[in-house]
Structure 1
Amino acid sequence: MANRDYVVDVAVYQSTSMSAYKHAGARQVIVKLTEGTGYFNPKAHYQIKSAHYHHMYVHAYHFATFGSSVSRAKAEAKFFVARAKKLNVSKKRYLWLDWETGDGNSVVNGTYSNTKAIMAFMKVCHDAGYKVGLYSGAYVLRQHVDTSTIVKKYGTCLWVASYATMGRIDTPNFNYFPSMDGVAIWQFTDNWCGLNVDGNITLKELITDRKLAVHKKSAERPKPKPIKKTGIVYVPVINRNPDYKVRLLDSKGKYQKYIRTSTTWKVWDAKTIRGMKCYRIGTDEQWVPAKFAKLI
């Protein structure tokens, strides 16, 4: 299973410091570099520098204004690539095309012509040695782009925006995931953790050069302690926020209702769900991830 990394995307509207995003749990950042053929983000250099300082993986994106014009798409891509090289964006990372309505970009010129222009942009970036991807809202991608052609050419490379609700969301509710083929990242909120930054989660492993921890073999490994399956569990306050709530799962991994922090529950069982150790609380199929709780 791919790592479920939190990712933020930043532009001139966000801070030059990535500290708050890193502290909230983001491991990757996508920095806006350019728009059209004349604008570049004046904060990009500092945002990239801060991301590296905080040991975050850095990708980049370009806001399109070419609509369905192939020639303009190529010109914008060359402008984008030149800026990515100037700012030393690694070719192990992704260059994303943000293709949506806004700043004169039209999305209603026909699916075939839209897709042809998008593919022309992505080809320039790909030929420059970068990994490539396409961002837009779920509706635009379904109605105005032939995503199957793009995915066939570049694999799982879609970055899709679809929000369960407007306003602050801290963790993605996969009941609202926009089921589409080829989704690499899901943007699930425009106000992650109250930081006024887009919140995204990866569905595909984007980083192929992570350093894996090397564990030395011991002469004799101790037997693992048995999991304690009953007792009392306490759900503490998280991030010093008394209003923070924790979402429960059922035994099949589907998300259920929320419970408040600073509460105590009887534990009836324990097992692994979605790769997480969980405790069953109450008498119903309600499981709380152990990372949010502790036995007392």
Structure 2
Amino acid sequence: MNKTMKLVALGAAFSFGLISPSVNVQVESTHTNSELSVDLGTQKASAAVNDHGVDWSVYQGAQGKFGYAHDKFAIAQIGGYYAGRGYVDQYTYPTQVQYTIAQGKRAHDYIFVDGVTDRTTMKAVIDHYLAKSQTPQDAIFALDIEQGATNTDVVMYGLDYIQSRGKTAMLYGYKNFLTANLDLQTIANKYPLWLAEYPNYAVTPEPNYNFFPSFDNIGILQFTSTYIAGGLDGNIDLTGITDNGYTKSNNPKTDTPAIEAGKEADNTPKKNIAEGMTVKVHYSATNYATGESIPDYVKGVPHKVLAVDGRKVLLDGVNSWLDRSDVEILDANTQSDTAEFNGVFVVDSWQTYIGKWYARNDDMSIPVADYNNDIPVADVTLTDRYGNPLADQTAQGNNGVMEYFTLNGNYKVLERSGSAIKIEVDGEPVWLQVAFAE
């Protein structure tokens, strides 16, 4: 599972291994009667063929990313609690839920928990993120525990507390880590597991059940971190648990702001597509209105509608007309949105990419700061600490000299997501903390 901290993601220990020939794994499904039997030599393991879905962290962006048109659910990271660091909220979470609902799919939650060994802290962490949850009551709220100190009593307490608050409690992790650090059988006797097991890092659109983490009460199998080229976690629902919180037609049973925005988009007829709305291009779309092929990088990601002409729409970043049947509405809001940043900010560091320079202010950036938070120098005015422009606009570089700057534009807002805002600066998207915007 991809997490907020790149170091954590790189250091995650993955478990490998075949199911023992002496074990006959039977996973019953309440969602479908279809089954897939996998020959394991002298024995067979049967696992229900069920709905496919994905799970997301900050690395899938504010819009999220599905692997295939048949995906039915997404489990989005609200944030996490990291030993020695505390809370790290995911600014991408609210719109990931909104866009999932807008596409008629089911959204669920997970939080990363590292080094929580007492009930008081576990309750505080869960309360912190339950307050931010945008999914319906009864939807999944999973604890992701795959590193750091932990114990069975606190994990069981956390799952009990989640369940008491009206969510579906699940435990995510790698079997080897969980069995080495917890009494996993006791937990599985009461709560469903979401276990990960990968055969390799080749693109894997379907589970390889020869690599199945044999254990009781597995509700979801995360069978790959390379669901598509470039990386994406792929999951399969083995029991129908991702239906929790939703009707048979995938409608959320209760509403939140993200759900309401998603439902508005899902219920807006395509004939009402208007300039300013946000849409995505279907994976199945093949040709522009002019007949040229639509490249894959255009599909499945959000685009603003720049113009509408009858059945044709012109999209930001595409600059070719498409038939409206080839797009899906993600956000029906058409209101023009701009923002200003009128403070005086410290240049914490200068960054350069492909010969172009950028300024970074750590307070304005979204943790963990990277090139997505860096401001092109074309819009930076160097000042003194009081905001008075300097006569010499030559930057001193990363040499310990305190430098200050202002941003003097009224910037187009490309996206708002929780505590973050994406603006267009010198033709580039920049994510900053919304608290600094006016």
Q: Which residue of 1 aligns with 2:72?
A: 27
Residue 22 of structure 1 contacts residue 54 of structure 1 at CA under 8 Å; is this kept in 2? no
Q: Is the counterpart of residue 151 in structure 1 residue 194 in structure 2?
A: no
Q: Which residue of 1 aligns with 2:178?
A: 141
User: Are residues 69 and 17 of structure 1, via their aligned partners in 2, closer, same or farther at CA, if it must alter by over 3 Å?
Assistant: same
Whole-angstrom CA distance in 2 between matches of 1:15 and 1:71 = 32
Q: Which residue of 2 aligns with 1:197?
A: 232
SS in 1 for 2:201: coil
- What residue identity is the alignment partner of 1:34? G
Whole-angstrom CA distance in 1 between matches of 2:140 and 2:59 = 21
**TM-score, structure 1 length as denominator?**
0.63
Higher Rg: 2
Measured after TM superposition, the shift of residue 41 of structure 1 is 0.6
Whole-angstrom CA distance in 1 between matches of 2:239 and 2:114 = 28
Measured after TM superposition, the shift of residue 170 of structure 1 is 1.3
**2:108 pairs with one of 45, 56, 59:** 59
Whole-angstrom CA distance in 2 between matches of 1:56 and 1:195 = 23
User: Are residues 90 and 72 of structure 1, via their aligned partners in 2, closer, same or farther at CA, if it must alter by over 3 Å?
Assistant: same
Whole-angstrom CA distance in 1 between matches of 2:249 and 2:87 = 41
- What residue identity is the alignment partner of 2:94? H
Could you list the runs of 5+ residues in structure 2 that have no partner in the other structure?
1-28, 33-49, 251-283, 287-438
Whole-angstrom CA distance in 2 between matches of 1:195 and 1:45 = 24
Q: Which residue of 1 aligns with 2:212?
A: 177
SS in 2 for 1:9: strand
Whole-angstrom CA distance in 2 between matches of 1:6 and 1:91 = 22
User: Are residues 29 and 212 of structure 1, via their aligned partners in 2, closer, same or farther at CA, if it must alter by over 3 Å?
Assistant: closer
Q: Which residue of 1 aligns with 2:201?
A: 166
SS in 2 for 1:26: coil
User: Are residues 23 and 7 of structure 1, via their aligned partners in 2, closer, same or farther at CA, if it must alter by over 3 Å?
Assistant: closer
**2:121 pairs with one of 62, 72, 81:** 72
Residue 64 of structure 1 contacts residue 97 of structure 1 at CA under 8 Å; is this kept in 2? yes
Q: Which residue of 2 aligns with 1:44?
A: 93
Q: Residue deviations 1:93-134, cap 9 Å, x none? A: 110000111xxx325xxxxxx111111211221111111100
- What residue identity is the alignment partner of 2:165? A
**TM-score, structure 2 length as denominator?**
0.43
Any residues of structure 2 matched to 1:1-296 within 5 Å, and which?
Answer: 1=29, 2-3=31-32, 4-18=50-64, 21=66, 23-36=68-81, 38-84=87-133, 87=134, 89-101=135-147, 105-107=148-150, 114-154=151-191, 157-206=192-241, 207-208=243-244, 209-211=246-248
Measured after TM superposition, the shift of residue 239 of structure 1 is 11
- What residue identity is the alignment partner of 1:92? D
Residue 55 of structure 2 contacts residue 74 of structure 2 at CA under 8 Å; is this kept in 1? yes
Measured after TM superposition, the shift of residue 203 of structure 1 is 1.1
Whole-angstrom CA distance in 2 between matches of 1:122 and 1:78 = 12
Whole-angstrom CA distance in 2 between matches of 1:167 and 1:22 = 14
User: Displaced runs of 4+ in structure 1, greater than 4 A?
Assistant: none
Residue 77 of structure 1 contacts residue 122 of structure 1 at CA under 8 Å; is this kept in 2? no
SS in 1 for 2:176: helix
Cα RMSD after superposing both structures: 2.3
- What residue identity is the alignment partner of 2:77? K
- What residue identity is the alignment partner of 1:13? Y
